[in-house]
Amino acid sequence: ARPLDESDLVRAEDALHVALTLWALHQQSRPTGMHQADRKDSRRGLGTAVRRMMKPGEIDEPLRKRLVRAGTAPDLTSLAQRLRDIVVLLRRADIPLDYALLAGQLYTWQRPGGADVVRREWGSSFHAWHDKDAEKPGDAAPAPAGDKTTDSTDTDKDAS
């Protein structure tokens, strides 16, 4: 990796400052960690976190608009305030976020063309996330005709 020049160092410092202050707000008086690393099997990016606040299968327009509004912020100060509004909602819903990932995105966001890259990442993670707990075995796609792998004694109906 190349050494960072002065402007890159300022961007990095600003990104870390915003991410750490957001984490502090999110973590405040919480016994469990509100920073959790984003992994392939457990997504913790901003778009995913916003989507997790919504009911399964539904898009909450006011929440979605908050994410879009954050992505279209004209400067880092506005972005920080808009992200703060989202973090307050995440805190209320007890939904963790990967603040290291967010710090990297805030750094990228400040670079020329970086806001577009970050908006795409947030949008992609927002639309890719789905609630695995909300999926029920009966919701799966039907087996192809002639497939005899299902047991006819299995039922997915409740006793009521």
pLDDT digits (tens, 9 = 90+) for 69-99: 999 999 999 999 999 999 999 999 999 999 9
What's the number of domains the chain is made of? 1
Hey, what's the torsion of the CAs at 82, 120, 117, 16, to 10 degrees?
Answer: 40
Give me the CATH number covering residue 81. 1.10.520.40
d(CA 10, CA 4): 10
160 occurs within a structural domain: no
Distance CA 147, CA 136 (A): 20
**Structural domain includes residue 119:** yes
The pLDDT tens digits for 15-54 are 999 999 999 999 986 777 777 666 665 556 899 999 999 9
How many Cβ atoms sit within 10 Å of the Cβ of residue 53? 15
More confident residue, 43 or 125: 125
Please tell me the predicted confidence (pLDDT) of residue 139: 44
Owning domain of residue 102:
6-28+35-130
Between CA 103 and CA 109 the distance in angstroms is 10
**Between residues 158 and 118, which one has the greater pLDDT?**
118
- The verdict on residue 150 lying in a domain is no
pLDDT of residue 131 exceeding 90: no
Tell me, yes or no, whether 149 lies in a domain: no
What is the token pair recorded at 12?
């990095």
pLDDT, one tens digit per residue, over 1-10 is: 778 899 999 9
